[in-house]
């Protein structure tokens, strides 16, 4: 019974347990614009691993669902309150426990912000490479729970490549330690990798041992190029990959998005940058190279862009490079200012980027939607933004139909419906379609093994709860209850 849960929590954790309406309300949403239908029973602000274990023991004994939440910056509804749940807030687990210069690793609690770790290790000449665009506000635990990507993945890998070991509180409160402090290690199945990207459904990541790297050395070269249209820019991006050059960053901004960004930021913001010289309909590629090979790689990229019909400029001036990257980061805010936005996250093999852009244009035309698209082009990871007019409380059916068409296209091209944001509740409808029934059932079997009573983030990733033997719900509704404009998207 809820009252029993709350009294037991209060007895064990005192003021860590909150039922203040504003707090219960805040955890109904993340940064995706999705807003769940339910308030939780309580929000528990854990400040130690012991407290997380205490919460899980009580949840286990009372069969109370638990949604673990870090910084609340998710983009797929993976950490929002569900019916009758506790929201377990880990933002108080924010200590950097160790930085080992000799072993190039750090041990952090799950609530440490990505950017805070980066700031802590930079004076030592070290770097935490996983770099989601949200790094200033997102937690490392959340990054690991979603296997977060970012702008630098083709060269520096996704989050999984930087996770050496984890401490995980299991559904019944036991503490599990996976992995090692070593670069290599093959003792048993790789549960560290299995936990990475598991979206709070297998256990609660409370501590991580992460790999650090030497800070990139030398000059960063920024290359900017304008192309006649989106598909030409996509083709130029694919040509860079095919040329054997691996830039640190390769971002594509399409024409529809640039027009909105320009209108939102105003001409002063773009003045003096290559973006100010774009003609209507032109798309834009932004590349950066780093480390010892930066100049030679930049030379090659300039050549590839020019051969692909680009109008190219390059610079080694750090300030002008950072200004362009900042405009790229302002993209989602600019879109959200002009309408409701559903941000998507498909990935395709890099050679298929031109086809995917063509498909997005066709889908937009068919569904009478503008779909401005930003791509981590070096990774083949696209963020099409479904922009629509109307009430923030309702996403029209034709938006979901367009998203459905887009997911199917990405998978048909050898890609996936989510490159870095995760499945959450927003994409669970499509999970079985991509995985196939056999893999879907195995994945549900893994879920049942780690969480036999189904209390860990129910409804996330899998629409159904319980054992795989149960048939899948055929009519999972596609529409979010109350999508809202995100204040800050990435």
Of residues 365 through 424, those in contact with its own copies by CB under 8 A are 376, 379-381, 414-423
Min dist. Cβ of residue 421 to its own copies (A): 7
Please identify, using beta-carbon distances, which residue of 111 and 203 lies nearer to its own copies. Answer: 203
Q: How far is the CB of 413 from its own copies (least distance, A)?
A: 9
CA 110, 119, 45 angle in degrees (round to 5)? 30
The stretch among 36-44, 169-177, 253-261, 336-344 that binds its own copies (CB under 8 A) is: 169-177
| Given 136, 137, 176, 337, the residue binding its own copies (CB under 8 A) | 176
Stated as kind and residue range, the H or E segment containing 388 is strand 381-388
296 binds its own copies, rule: CB under 8 A: yes
Nearest approach in angstroms of CB 388 to its own copies is: 25
Site map 215..234 versus its own copies, x via CB under 8 A: x-x-----------------
The first and second tokens of residue 328, run together, are 């790229």
Backbone angles phi, psi at 467, to 5 degrees: -80, 155
Backbone angles phi, psi at 290, to 5 degrees: -145, -175
Q: Tell which residue, 424, 441, 447, has the closest CA to residue 171.
A: 447
Q: Of 128-136, 187-195, 273-281, 327-335, which segment contacts its own copies by CB under 8 A?
A: 187-195
Helical axes 49-62 vs 2-13, angle rounded to 10° = 160
Rama region for 461: left / alpha / beta (φ>0; ψ in -120 to 50; rest): left
- Binds its own copies by CB under 8 A, chosen from 282, 409, 434, 464: 434
Query: What is the spatial distance between Cα 58 and Cα 172, in angstroms, rounded to a whole number?
Result: 8
123-142: contacts with its own copies (CB under 8 A): 125-126
| Residues in 305-334 that interact with its own copies by CB under 8 A | none
Size of residue set near its own copies by CB under 8 A = 88
Q: Does 174 bind its own copies (CB under 8 A)?
A: yes
- In the bound state with its own copies, the residue whose beta carbon lies nearer, of 294 and 387, is 294
Q: Nearest approach, Cβ of 122 to its own copies (angstroms)?
A: 12
Q: Which residue has the tokens 């256990």?
A: 203
Is the CB of 192 or the CB of 340 nearer to its own copies?
A: 192
**Sole binder of its own copies in the list 68, 347, 375, 456 (CB under 8 A):** 347
Contact call for residues 208 and 144 (beta carbons, < 8 A): yes
For its own copies, which is the closer residue by CB, 104 or 394?
104
Considering only 14, 21, 123, 188, the residue that binds its own copies (CB under 8 A) is 188
Our finding on whether 196 is near its own copies (CB under 8 A) is yes
C-beta of residue 71 within 8 angstroms of C-beta of residue 142: yes
What CA–CA distance (Å, rounded) separates 25 from 385? 26
254-293: which residues touch its own copies (CB under 8 A)?
291-293
Nearest approach in angstroms of CB 233 to its own copies is 16
Considering the rule CB under 8 A, would residue 170 count as an interface residue with its own copies?
Answer: yes
Q: State in Å, rounded, how far the first CA of the chain is from the last one.
A: 39
- Rounded Cα distance between 361 and 368, Å, is 10
Q: Among 431, 455, 456, 460, indicate the residue that binds its own copies (CB under 8 A).
A: 431
Of residues 292 and 326, the one with the C-beta less far from its own copies: 292
Q: In this structure, how many other beta carbons lie within 10 angstroms of the beta carbon of residue 434?
A: 18
Main-chain dihedrals φ then ψ at residue 478, nearest 5 degrees: -90, -15
The angle at the Cα of 154, spanning 118 to 220, to the nearest 5 degrees, equals 60
Tokens coding 2:
């809820």
**Interface segment toward its own copies; rule CB under 8 A; list 40-48, 67-75, 212-220, 360-368:** 212-220
Q: Is 362 in the site for its own copies (CB under 8 A)?
A: no
What Cα–Cα distance (Å) separates residue 303 from each residue in 165, 286, 307?
A: 42, 14, 6
Q: Which is nearer to its own copies, 43 or 423 (CB)?
A: 423
* Site membership for its own copies, residue 461 (CB under 8 A): yes
Q: Which of residues 60-89 bind its own copies (CB under 8 A)?
A: none
Contacts (CB under 8 A) with its own copies, residues 92-121: 100-105
d(CA 322, CA 443): 42
In this complex, which beta carbon is closest to its own copies, that of residue 88 or of residue 107? 107
Element (H, E) at 227: strand 221-227
Q: Contact at 8 Å (CB) between 411 and 434?
A: yes
**147 belongs to the binding site for its own copies (CB under 8 A):** yes
Nearer to its own copies, 82 or 241 (CB): 241
Phi-psi region of 424 (alpha: psi -120 to 50; beta: other; left: phi over 0): left
- The DSSP-derived string for 92-129 is T---EEEEETTTTEEEEETTSBHHHHHHHHGGGTEE--
Q: Which stretch binds its own copies (CB under 8 A): 214-222, 302-310, 330-338, 480-488?
A: 214-222
Segment lying near its own copies (by CB under 8 A), choices 32-40, 158-166, 362-370, 472-480? 158-166
């Amino acid at each position: 019974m809820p009252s029993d849960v709350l009294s037991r929590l209060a007895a064990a954790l005192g003021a860590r347990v909150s039922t203040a309406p504003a707090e219960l309300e805040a955890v109904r949403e993340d940064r995706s614009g999705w807003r769940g239908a339910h308030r939780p029973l309580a929000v528990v602000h854990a400040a130690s691993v012991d407290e997380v274990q205490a919460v899980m023991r009580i949840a286990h004994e009372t069969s109370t669902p638990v949604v673990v939440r870090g910084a609340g910056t998710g983009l797929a509804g993976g950490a929002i309150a569900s019916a009758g749940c506790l929201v377990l807030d880990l933002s108080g687990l924010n200590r950097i426990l160790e930085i080992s210069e000799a072993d190039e690793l750090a041990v952090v609690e799950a609530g440490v912000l990505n950017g805070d770790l980066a700031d802590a290790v930079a004076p030592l000449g070290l770097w935490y490479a996983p770099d989601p665009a949200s790094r200033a506000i997102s937690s490392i635990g959340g990054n690991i729970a979603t296997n977060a990507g970012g702008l630098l993945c083709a060269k520096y890998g996704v989050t999984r490549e930087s996770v050496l070991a984890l401490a995980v509180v299991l559904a019944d409160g036991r503490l599990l330690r996976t992995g090692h402090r070593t670069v290599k290690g093959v003792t048993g199945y790789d549960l560290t990798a299995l936990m990475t990207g598991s979206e709070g459904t297998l256990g609660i990541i409370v501590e991580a041992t992460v790999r650090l790297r030497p800070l990139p050395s030398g000059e960063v070269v920024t290359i900017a190029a304008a192309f006649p249209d989106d598909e030409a820019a996509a083709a130029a991006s694919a040509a860079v990959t095919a040329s054997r050059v691996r830039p640190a960053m390769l971002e594509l901004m399409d024409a529809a998005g640039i027009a909105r960004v320009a209108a939102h930021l105003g001409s002063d913001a773009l003045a003096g940058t290559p973006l100010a010289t774009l003609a209507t309909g032109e798309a834009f590629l932004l590349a950066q190279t780093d480390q010892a090979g930066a100049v030679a790689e930049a030379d090659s990229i300039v050549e590839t862009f020019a051969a692909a019909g680009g109008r190219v400029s390059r610079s080694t001036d750090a300030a002008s490079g950072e200004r362009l990257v900042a405009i790229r980061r302002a993209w989602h805010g600019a879109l959200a200012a002009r309408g409701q936005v559903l941000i998507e996250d498909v990935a395709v093999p890099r050679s298929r980027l031109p086809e995917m852009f063509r498909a997005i244009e066709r889908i937009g035309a068919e569904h009478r939607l503008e779909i401005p698209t930003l791509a981590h082009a070096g990774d083949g990871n696209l963020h099409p933004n479904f922009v629509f007019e109307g009430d923030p409380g309702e996403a029209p059916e034709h938006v979901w139909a367009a998203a459905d068409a887009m997911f199917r296209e990405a998978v048909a091209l050898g890609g996936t419906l989510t490159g870095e944001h995760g499945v959450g509740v927003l994409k669970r409808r499509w999970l079985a379609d991509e995985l196939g029934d056999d893999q879907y059932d195995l994945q549900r079997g893994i879920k049942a093994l780690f969480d036999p009573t189904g209390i860990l983030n129910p409804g996330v990733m899998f629409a159904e709860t319980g054992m795989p033997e149960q048939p899948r719900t055929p009519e999972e509704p596609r529409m979010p209850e109350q999508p809202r404009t995100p204040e800050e998207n990435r």
